[in-house]
Amino acid sequence: MDNAATTNVTKEVLEEMRPYLIDNYGNPSAQYNIGVEAKKAIQKARERVANGIRARPEEIYFTSCGSESDNWAIKGVCEKQRLKDKNKIITTNIEHPAVLNTCKYLEKHGFEVIYIPVDKNGFITAQQVENVIDDDTAIVSVMYANNEIGSIQPVSEIGVVCRRYGVPLHVDAVQAIGNVDINVSESNIDLMSISGHKIHAPKGVGCLYIRNGIDCSPLIHGGGQENGFRSGTENVASIVGFGKAMETTTSDIKNKIDYVKNLRDYLLCNIVDGEFIKLNGSIENRLCGNLNVSFKNCEGESIALQLANYDIYVSAKSACSAGNLEPSHVIKAIEKDENYLYGSVRFSLNEHNTQEEIDYLINTIKKLVIFNQR
């Protein structure tokens, strides 16, 4: 029940990867047969990833993860924009740490960062962006969907504002990919970060979409791989797996969304009572598999550990900040009642979860709720 943290590598993904780990292990920069075959495999994966978001293959650059893609997008664009005396960054106060900490780094290097506050359900509006964007703005970075409470931002509308001002829009779509039908052109997205391990590819592979015409500095200098933007020998097998996973997760996405949403809504109706357990965020414009709730006067970490004793795995906050006993910065941004501030738990479902698993979860939570109320 923690698929927002990571997912398993499916058998079909593993089978596509296997030859490039054992037999076709050539360096894709080599000119002999197994090197050429590896190069072709990377190109096929690039096409699959591009098709999944309605982009062009040459706009896809493979990376190691979503955090790397976030760092590259923001730093790479800001480095170029600084040459034009543009030194303002606009983002929100509930971004992933990969974005927030990159912005903090750039603040120390002369950039001004505007953190737009979200409303009680975790949303911002295009008008809020319009209120602060200007000719000095280097980039706007807004996550497509929040990793903790699942709120889906009005990306297309924000993109319209950015286009009007000629400002690149970067979108962290790590949680959205595979859970939202994404069209980068229709959504006015200029750069977008994706991570493979959220959609049944292995850990250690992701990509950055950079729209043709966007000026962005290279991430790694070296032998010229990834069209000179990210040098270094490619992680062929993982890239192949990522391509297969993208093809699979986006091929029947509407039916997947309906199936997972029904599971999530069933869970919601059976555990949220509005008093002891309350929903964080709105049920509308929310990721299909995301359900984030707060247990009154409880610690989310404690609930998560108790559920683990029943072989149920969930998160009390983002996996990237787990272990920190402070309330999640996302929950702090939307919750003012201290009785619920520390008790947040995220359930994140996907298409491999079953009705039987949800029933088991519901019955287990009811046992724990009775225990905690006492």
| pLDDT (tens digit per residue) in 288-342 | 999 999 999 999 999 999 999 999 999 996 545 555 568 899 999 999 899 999 9
In a domain, 260, yes or no: yes
**Residue range 206-223: average pLDDT?**
97
Does residue 369 sit within a domain?
yes
Please tell me whether residues 170 and 276 are part of one structural domain: no
Q: What is the pLDDT of residue 326?
A: 81
Q: Are residues 31 and 135 in the same domain?
A: yes
The pLDDT confidence band at residue 279, using thresholds 50, 70 and 90, is very high
Q: Going by C-beta distance under 8 Å and a sequence separation of 6 or more, which residues neighbour residue 223?
A: 29, 231, 232, 233
Identify the H or E element spanning 137. strand 137-141
Q: Are residues 276 and 147 in the same domain?
A: no
125-147 average pLDDT score: 98
Report the C-alpha gap between 202 and 208 in whole angstroms: 17
Instruction: Please check the confidence at residue 115 and state whether its pLDDT lies above 90.
Output: yes
261, pLDDT greater than 80: yes
**78 closest CA partner among 104, 50, 53, 59:** 104
DSSP 342: T
Q: What is the CATH number of the domain that holds 364?
A: 3.90.1150.10
* Structural domain harbouring 349: 253-373
Looking at the structure, do residues 82 and 221 belong to the same domain, yes or no? yes
Q: Are residues 114 and 23 in the same domain?
A: yes
**Structural domain contains residue 6:** no
Active-site annotation holds for 320: yes
Residue 374 confidence class, pLDDT cut points 50, 70, 90: very low
List, for residues 65-88, the tens digit of each pLDDT value.
999 999 999 999 999 999 999 999
Dihedral pair phi/psi, residue 87, rounded to 5°: -135, 30
Residue 132 has pLDDT above 80, yes or no: yes
Query: Do 235 and 302 belong to one domain?
Result: no
Query: Domains in the chain: how many in total?
Result: 2
CA distance 333 to 344: 13
Kindly list the strands in the beta sheet with 112-116, ordered across the sheet, starting from the edge strand earlier in the chain: 60-63, 206-210, 191-195, 169-172, 137-141, 88-92, 112-116
Whether residue 236 is found in the same domain as residue 257: no
Condensed to tens digits (0 to 9), the pLDDT of residues 216-251 reads 999 999 999 999 999 999 999 999 999 999 999 999
Distance CA 4, CA 146 (A): 10
In a domain, 224, yes or no: yes
Q: Which of 65, 207, 216, 320 is catalytic?
A: 320
How far is residue 316 from each of residues 147, 298, 300, 325, 352, measured CA to CA in Å?
A: 12, 11, 5, 10, 21
Does residue 131 belong to any structural domain of this protein? yes
Q: Answer yes or no: is 2 within a domain.
A: no
**Helices 300-308 & 355-373 angle (0-180, nearest 10):** 130
Q: In the prediction, which pLDDT does 274 show?
A: 78
Same domain, 266 and 172: no
pLDDT exceeds cutoff 90 at 369:
no
Q: 227: which DSSP letter?
A: G
The per-residue pLDDT for 373 is 52
Q: Mean pLDDT lowest for which of 20-29, 36-45, 321-330, 335-344?
A: 321-330
Is 244 in contact with 235 (CB distance < 8 Å)? Answer: no
Instruction: Supply the mean pLDDT for the chain.
Output: 95
- 277 and 183 housed in the same domain: no
